[in-house]
Amino acid sequence: MSGEQDTSTQLATFAGGCFWCMVKPFHQWPGVIRVTSGYTGGNTVNPTYEEVCTGTTGHVEAVEIEFQPSVISYDTILDVFWKQIDPTDDGGQFCDRGSSYRTAIFYHTEEQKQTAEASKSRLAASGIFTRPIVTPILPATAFYPAESYHQDFYQKNKAHYERYRNASGRDEFIRRHWSNP
């Protein structure tokens, strides 16, 4: 029917180190409905932030993005993701070290898996990074939203977020590697 808008949505889930820094880059795009900070990839049901930080739950800090593929493609969302992380670091991200700060792409469909693998291959072939791309592409598992104080942290605690982000080294890395972050 003409004139009707496609309102179907999909999920994309990414781990990119501190989830505070992974929300704002996606919020800015038309077609992104919501970005939720949380935990995934582990074996503890409904873990807390404190439990995840111990590194014993197997979870990583992640964001779950609900988006309209008729407005923004999964490939575009992947491009945004790659430009927020150091995909060559498997020990954490920037100032945050440890297993809960590793990077990962969690696919929800076979099509997402194939698109993510192609995106990773293009990045590896681009020559932007001299070290291997180590970000794994894994099947999505249960996603547990983080505590409410972590949600939209960049909006709720702007000064704290800006101080943390500036000191983390993330923005300097992005500037060095991407001419148009």
d(CA 139, CA 13): 10
> Tens digits of per-residue pLDDT, 54-79?
999 999 999 999 999 999 999 999 99
pLDDT band at 10 (very low <50, low <70, confident <90, very high): very high
> Tens digits of per-residue pLDDT, 105-162?
999 999 999 999 999 999 999 999 999 999 999 999 999 999 999 999 999 999 999 9
Active site residues: 18
Query: What's this model's pTM, rounded to 2 decimal places?
Result: 0.93
Closest to 43 (Cα-Cα) out of 107, 99, 88:
99
Vertex 168: Cα angle to 178 and 59 (nearest 5): 95
d(CA 117, CA 160): 35
What domains can you pick out in the chain, each with its CATH number?
Answer: 10-177 (3.30.1060.10)
Q: What is the pLDDT of residue 180?
A: 53
Mean pLDDT score across all residues of the chain: 94
Strands 143-145 and 60-67: unpaired
